[in-house]
Amino acid sequence: MVVDSASGRRYLDRDKIEPVVSTLGWLYYELVTARLGRHPGVGEDLTALDLSDPADGKLGEWAEGLDIQLLALLAEEVVETPDQQLLEQDAQTLLGDTLGGYQLGTQEWSLAPLASFSARRVTAIAHRLPDRLARAAIVRSGLSVQGWIDALAAAEQLQTVPEVRPELLTSELWPTLQRLILTLATDVHEVQRRIRQKKVASPALIPLATDWIAGLPAADLHQKHHGDLLTPDITATTSAIDKLIVQDLAWVVSAVLHLLELRRGVPAEGHMAPLPAMIKYGVGSPAACYASSIGIRDRATATNLAGNCPYSEPTFRQFLDCISQLTTDEITTLTDQDTARLLIRSTERRSPRATHVAILSGAGTFTCPLRGVRHSGNDATLAQLPVGAPLDLVRDPGNETDPNAIQVQHQGVFIGWIAREIARPRSRPGPRPPYLHAARHRRALDRTTGRSRPATRPQRSHPDHHARSKVTVRPPA
């Protein structure tokens, strides 16, 4: 480290700073080195050099990435122009505005060879895919040109399913259709490239993906498939799952279904629509996908929560509504401690509307934090309240800190306040707040739909400002 004595600020030693080299710069350097058979010198005239297309490997991936970026940036009229010189000029202009173009300029190397190389490849893509919409779809999918062509072939095969094998669209034969989609996606360039990189056996990928979606734990997946995958240990198996299935297979299946939608003119329906998410999260239902998407990382927990949703194919809103109806004890039973805390917080964020409805209607339960329990000095009273004990909501306009405050009382004994962010919009003049039923649950308020649920495990609340209770609104007697 070096220290600037004037300012006292510290800087890294410049001699030890790792340089950042553009991928574009590396691609140019390696292509030139391959063409010359040696490393180019600083300031060497490379203007007339003709660069060859790289073979498969890292250079091939970089070149494919450059193709897609140029397709995204170049005007369609330029891509389709027969004037090669115009295409090269525009490509060189774009390349010159990049970090790679700047770094190559510091070496005094001409960008003309790379512009000619890129223009030639873009022209080949335009001839191979004359449809502008098809080229636009490549850019949106993020696949390489070859990957997109493979995905298009897969989508065309799936398009024939309703006519050739309509029975596959039924729920009973969904596993067969799922296997067909996975098989077609496995043949796409990006997945095949990853199979070669991970050095796994290609035929083992489909059974592995099927069991992954079915929710088998990682240890069971390794035990069942490591022999076919040729993975020596569970670390290698989980790495193959992460790279091949969670990343590449989910990505490719999503692209295939998007292309199928473009060709059919209608979006994927039934189990096909959530299949990419099912592959990504390793769960077997749309509701379990929703559970995973809100931060529930454990696949078994996500599946358990999904089982409590009464809808076979719920929307995301319907799933959240189902979760919000669970009591704290139910959440704690179905999930681990961290997940329960996440869901309870999620319910609290959704509770203001439920609180409003419950208070105005005089029936229902809602979830919210109970503040000031320690300040009240009655935390012991709160901890001893039985399930179903009546509570009162009492406005507290004399509260110096918050004139919108709403007290929670039991038989005239002050227990705490409803959280300020929930009480404020509910404390304006209106009907007298109704009585509440209290159900002691572990540090959380729960909201249901107007009926009181018995507490399966009443527990003592910690006497701090985060202590919470389940409250069920009822009309005054």
Residue range 124-169, pLDDT digits in tens? 988 888 888 878 888 888 888 889 889 989 999 998 888 888 888 8
- pLDDT band at 347; cut points 50, 70, 90: low
CA dist 298 and 305 (Å) reads 11
Q: What is the pLDDT of residue 222?
A: 93
How many angstroms separate the first and last alpha carbons of the chain? 75
pTM of the shown model: 0.67
Q: What is the pLDDT of residue 271?
A: 81
- For 180-231, write each residue's pLDDT tens digit: 999 999 999 999 999 998 888 888 899 999 999 999 999 999 999 988 888 8
- pLDDT band at 459; cut points 50, 70, 90: very low
For the residues of 70-103, what is the DSSP string, one character each? Answer: HHHHS-HHHHT-S-HHHHHHHHHHHHHTSHHHHH
> Which three-class secondary structure state does DSSP give residue 364?
strand
Q: What is the pLDDT of residue 467?
A: 36
Burial 202-232 (b: 16+ CB within 10 A, else e): eebbbbbbebbbebbeeeebbeebbeebebe
Question: Does 432 have pLDDT greater than 60?
Answer: no
What residues have CB less than 8 Å from 144, skipping those under 6 apart? 61, 64, 65, 67, 68, 189, 190
CA dist 423 and 428 (Å) reads 9
- Residue 380's CB is within 10 A of a number of other CB atoms, namely 9
Q: Which range, of 13-17, 92-96, 168-172, averages the lowest pLDDT?
A: 13-17
Q: What is the pLDDT of residue 444?
A: 32
Are the beta carbons of 342 and 326 closer than 8 angstroms? no
> Which three-class secondary structure state does DSSP give residue 462?
coil
Chain centroid offset of residue 63 CA: 28
Quickly name the fold that domain 350-474 has.
Alpha-Beta Plaits (3.30.70)
Could you tell me which of 49, 53, 33 has the C-alpha nearest to residue 41? 33
What is the chain's mean pLDDT, rounded? 79
Tokens of 156: 């065309």
- The identity of residue 306, as a single letter, is A
Are the beta carbons of 74 and 135 closer than 8 angstroms? no
Question: Does 361 have pLDDT greater than 60?
Answer: yes
Question: Does 416 have pLDDT greater than 80?
Answer: yes
Question: Does 31 have pLDDT greater than 90?
Answer: yes
CA dist 422 and 434 (Å) reads 16
Question: 309 pairs with which residues across the strands?
Answer: none
Question: Does 290 have pLDDT greater than 80?
Answer: yes
Burial 21-35 (b: 16+ CB within 10 A, else e): ebebbebbbebbeee
Residue ranges per structural domain of the chain: 23-128, 147-281, 286-324, 350-474
CA dist 275 and 245 (Å) reads 12
- For 52-96, write each residue's pLDDT tens digit: 999 878 888 889 888 888 888 888 888 888 898 999 999 999 999
H or E element in which residue 169 lies: none
Are the beta carbons of 238 and 219 closer than 8 angstroms? no
Q: Write down the residue that tokens 């297979």 correspond to.
A: 249
